[in-house]
């Protein structure tokens, strides 16, 4: 059990109201799930190594800055987009890149080696669920459903994996709108497309969408249609403090609120749903 005494405050950036929200759209990794926490420390070194092998004279620090920047900018999109950019960066440096799918497989093999023990722990011991979720997630989802919002879960992680992980964490039943992840045909699904589908289906207007995410892309997508966005900037795995680097990135793309977790749900709801 984690100690829950520390409840970091809600940072109010715009104070936008979500009192009319009908739909809540959630990202999965880093927003609810911590199963893949540390993925960036797998992806970035793998990519830096691929670029360093081209011997362009750039230092490791320079390559790390390049990689970190595009990985972050594309976080929230399907994983393959980060690999497409890696291929482009290799080509820019005169290299002959593999198909982006090859890099994606390499990354997932490395990541799965790192997280397989977490998945096993969750299968063996369902009470370990709390350890692998942003604190307060279940209570938040429950409270949003009680308010009558329709909940959607949309992830850039491959759908088969993320659905299995959502089941392991016990969050699937909250998502009465559906659970969506990346498909092999990566052009057939995106968070942006899901938002467009929700609006086109007349379920609600863009301004009636409330988004929760730790990635650039989902915050940008929700703001682009006039919705309200809560940026989750956690210092994973503990998730008790705001990670300043993530906070600044999410604020720069238009997040209306920043939280490190959902333990201050009462304070957040007061701001979000005040009329
Ligand atoms: Mg995420």
DSSP calls for 53-98: TT--S--HHHHHHHHHHHHHHTBTB-HHHHHHHHHHHHHHTT----
Distance in angstroms (rounded) separating the CA atoms of residues 275 and 126? 39
144 upstream amide cis, omega within 30 of 0: no
Residue count (the chain): 275
pLDDT digits (tens, 9 = 90+) for 47-69: 999 999 999 999 999 999 999 99
Domain assignments of the chain as residue spans, ordered by start: 11-34+133-272, 40-124
Pick the CATH number of 11-34+133-272 from 3.40.50.2000, 3.20.20.100, 3.40.50.1000, 3.30.420.130: 3.40.50.1000
Q: How far is the CA of 50 from the centre of ligand 1 (A)?
A: 24
Residue 225 CA neighbour count, 13 Å, CB half: 28
Does the pLDDT value for residue 7 go beyond 90?
no
Q: How far is the CA of 165 from the centre of ligand 1 (A)?
A: 14
SS3 at position 197: helix
Phi, psi of 147 (to 5 degrees): -80, -5
What is the model's pLDDT at position 71?
96
pLDDT digits (tens, 9 = 90+) for 138-177: 999 999 999 999 999 999 999 999 999 999 999 999 999 9
Q: How far is the CA of 96 from the centre of ligand 1 (A)?
A: 30
Q: Which residues pair with 158 in a beta bridge?
A: 182
Averaged confidence pLDDT in the chain: 94
Distance in angstroms (rounded) separating the CA atoms of residues 179 and 197? 14
Question: Which residues have beta carbons under 5 A from ligand 1 (an ion)?
Answer: 27, 29-30, 214-215
What is the model's pLDDT at position 202?
78
Distance in angstroms (rounded) separating the CA atoms of residues 233 and 210? 17
């Amino acid at each position: 059990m984690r100690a829950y005494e520390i409840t970091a405050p809600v940072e109010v950036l715009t104070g936008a109201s979500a009192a009319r929200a009908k739909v809540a759209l959630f990202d999965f990794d880093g927003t609810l799930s911590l199963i893949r926490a540390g993925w960036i420390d797998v992806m970035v070194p793998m990519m830096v190594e691929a670029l360093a092998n081209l011997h362009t004279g750039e230092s490791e620090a320079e390559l790390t800055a390049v990689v970190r920047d595009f990985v972050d900018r594309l976080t929230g999109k399907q994983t393959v987009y980060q690999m497409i950019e890696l291929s482009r960066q290799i080509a820019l440096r005169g290299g002959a890149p593999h198909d982006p799918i090859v890099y994606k497989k390499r990354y997932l093999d490395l990541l799965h080696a790192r997280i397989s023990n977490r998945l096993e722990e969750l299968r063996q011991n369902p009470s370990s669920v709390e350890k692998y979720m942003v604190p307060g997630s279940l209570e938040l989802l429950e409270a949003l459903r009680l308010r009558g919002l329709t909940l959607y879960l949309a992830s850039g992680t491959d759908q088969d994996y993320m659905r299995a992980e959502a089941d392991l964490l016990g969050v699937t039943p909250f998502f009465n709108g559906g659970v969506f992840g990346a498909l092999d045909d990566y052009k057939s699904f995106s968070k942006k497309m899901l938002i467009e589908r929700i609006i086109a289906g007349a379920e609600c207007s863009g301004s009636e969408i409330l988004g929760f995410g730790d990635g650039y892309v989902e915050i940008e997508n929700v703001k682009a249609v006039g919705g309200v966005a809560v940026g989750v900037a956690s210092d994973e795995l503990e998730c008790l403090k705001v990670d300043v680097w993530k906070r600044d990135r999410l604020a720069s793309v238009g997040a209306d609120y920043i939280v490190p977790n959902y333990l201050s749900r009462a304070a957040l709801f007061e701001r979000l749903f005040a009329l």
